[in-house]
Amino acid sequence: MYKIGTINYFNLFSDEFNQGYYETEIDLKQIDPTIQSIEKFISSYKTIEISNLGNLQVECEPPNIENFIFDRSTNILNGTTGCDYVLGQLNNFVFKNEGQSQSNKINFENTISLYTDNIKVNDIQTFSIGYTNKKTDSITSIWNFYHYSQNLKYYDEQMYFAIKTSSFSDDNNIKLTETYLQAYYTNDMKLKIRFSKVIKPYLLFNRESYKPPYPNIQKMGNDKDITIDINNQNVLGIRNNTTSPIQITIKPR
């Protein structure tokens, strides 16, 4: 249940946080062909300096549901004691395009140095956390909504879709402001550097019933998984908002 003001909404997504990420790869054998192991690389090179991080931002396009959820063939279910009634197929819900796009600066230090011997093989570790600014408006500024009023004499139904990329005024969770700088080695002599952004999706539903025979809904569900493509770079991504590229410098011991 998700509360906005005095109204409770069912969220068809779990209350867990998710992460979208951008990752780049460096072939360590291209740095020095004589290096044939991670151990040799660590003994030869001390730090990995990542600079020009001061202009990173997370961008999210307006929440047009078809750009985020490609397979919308699931049935939306509801009821009072169980999900006994089919509200309709998600494909058939016509959402209005009123949610705003999001652009949030990520406050990393401009230069971050990683020690090569702190990075592990096949073990993604976080070395720095950057924070976006908390938004002063609420989720209502970014959601795309479907409004269904078959009979206003009896009930009014609304469904909303949104993806939060930062903390808003209707929540106080610092987790939503976090972006992680992460790194790890692979068995085939690759160094992976990853920027991971915490995000949270919402598919909210509310029915306001005015009188019988349409009671307030107590249960909400779906008959198959609803999957968001959070790594679709056309609609959601971590981008460098400057012409100066991010630089990665590997320094010897």
Model pLDDT, residue 5: 65
Give the tokens for residue 93: 């819900």
The answer to whether 181 and 195 are in contact (CB under 8 A) is yes
Query: How many Å apart are CA 48 and CA 22, to the nearest integer?
Result: 18
3-state helix, strand, coil in the chain (%, to 5): 10, 50, 40
**What is the rounded distance in angstroms from the CA atom of residue 159 to the CA atom of residue 183?**
39
Furthest-apart CA pair in the chain: how many Å? 79
pLDDT at 220: 86
Instruction: Enter the pTM of the model.
Output: 0.87
Would you tell me how many other CB atoms lie within 10 Å of the CB of residue 152?
A: 9
Q: What string of pLDDT tens digits covers the 253 residues of the chain?
A: 676 666 778 899 988 888 888 999 999 999 988 899 999 999 999 999 999 999 999 999 999 999 999 999 999 988 878 888 888 899 988 898 789 999 999 999 999 999 999 999 999 999 999 999 988 888 889 999 887 665 556 667 788 999 999 998 888 788 999 999 999 999 999 999 999 999 999 999 877 655 566 566 778 899 999 998 876 778 899 999 888 999 999 999 9
